[in-house]
Amino acid sequence: MEMPFPLTKKKDSFTLKLSKELYKHDTVQKALSEDKDWVEETEASDEYYCFRLKTAEIEDVLNWMNSLIYLQKG
Amino acid sequence: MSKPKINVNENYAELRVNPEIYSKETIFAVGYVFLDKAYILLDIDKDDFVIYLYPQQKNTDLMQLSLEFCNELVNYAHYFTRSESNAEAIKAIMQRALFSAAPSLVQEAEEKEIEDLIKELEEEEEEEEREKDGNAVSFDKKEG
């Protein structure tokens, strides 16, 4: 399955990069705290947060992405 | 050559928007509206905001979805621009409505405004005094 740049698939997980300029720190931390059993923050750069999502299902990842939009806007 | 503004792949669509035209707030507002239709991932690539749209329904026309997203961007950009230009008028109307319900608040607000003005004037006078003293010292040095 084709993936856009910020999202890459590993064997049983996904790596997701989120721009710090777009996604607020508070939003990201809140989402992480709610899903810490399967979402792990890995080495970030100056411009990006980086996460490892321990799931093989792309839908789980996509739902998590949407939850960030919901948290940030709501 | 700049990249195409809408690029539809097999599984997702990629939209590129100019940040000088559409703000982050606008994009998030539209993203929120589309939460029941698409999965949304946002990114920045050099001069563009990049919006990746994954459909939630299997037979979704990704080009159609992208174009709808673009229309909502225009809609919300217009909304936020209008809100900003109307903010002062709305504030005045709200204040009038509030003060009519509680007239004592008018006096309190006026006293506060006068206090702020006096404070501002005092600060300006102090600033002028400091500048005068500064000029006097440099003048004396030249004379000396």
Per the structure, the complete domain to which residue A24 belongs is given by 7-73
Split into its structural domains, chain A has a count of 1
**CB-based contact A32:A67 (threshold 8 Å):** no
pLDDT for res B139: 57
A2 domain-assigned: no
The label of the residue with tokens 């003048």 reads B139
pLDDT beneath 50: ranges in chain A? none
A35 domain-assigned: yes
B112-125 confidence digits (pLDDT tens) = 888 888 898 988 88
- The two tokens of residue A56 are 């093989």
Q: How far apart are CA A44 and CA B60, in angstroms?
A: 34
A48: Cβ–Cβ under 8 A, 6 or more apart, which residues? A6, A17, A18, A19, A20
B49-108 confidence digits (pLDDT tens) = 999 999 999 889 999 999 999 999 999 999 888 887 788 788 878 878 877 777 777 778
DSSP 3-state of A56: coil
pTM summary value: 0.71
Q: How far apart are CA A35 and CA A15, in angstroms?
A: 15
Q: Please answer yes or no on whether A66 and B35 come within 8 Å at the CB atom.
A: yes
Please indicate if any CB of chain B lies within 8 Å of the CB of A70. yes
Q: How confident is the model at residue B135 (pLDDT cuts 50, 70, 90)?
A: confident
pLDDT for res B104: 76
- Chain B residues with CB inside 8 Å of A74's CB? 32
In this prediction, what percent of chain B has a pLDDT beyond 70? Answer: 90
pLDDT for res A2: 61
- Chain A residues with CB inside 8 Å of B11's CB? 1-2
Among B128, A3, B85, residue whose Cα is nearest residue A61: A3
A1 domain-assigned: no
B8-65 confidence digits (pLDDT tens) = 988 899 999 999 999 999 999 999 999 999 999 999 988 899 999 999 998 899 999 9
Q: How confident is the model at residue B138 (pLDDT cuts 50, 70, 90)?
A: low
- Chain A residues with CB inside 8 Å of B32's CB? 69-70, 73-74
Q: How far apart are CA B39 and CA B50, in angstroms?
A: 14
A18 domain-assigned: yes
DSSP conformation class of B2: P
pLDDT for res B47: 85
Query: A21-25 contacts: CB < 8 A, separation 24 or more?
Result: A21/A47, A21/B24, A21/B44, A22/B24, A22/B42, A22/B43, A22/B44, A22/B49, A23/A49, A23/A68, A23/A72, A23/B42, A24/A72
Q: What ipTM, to 2 d.p.?
A: 0.89
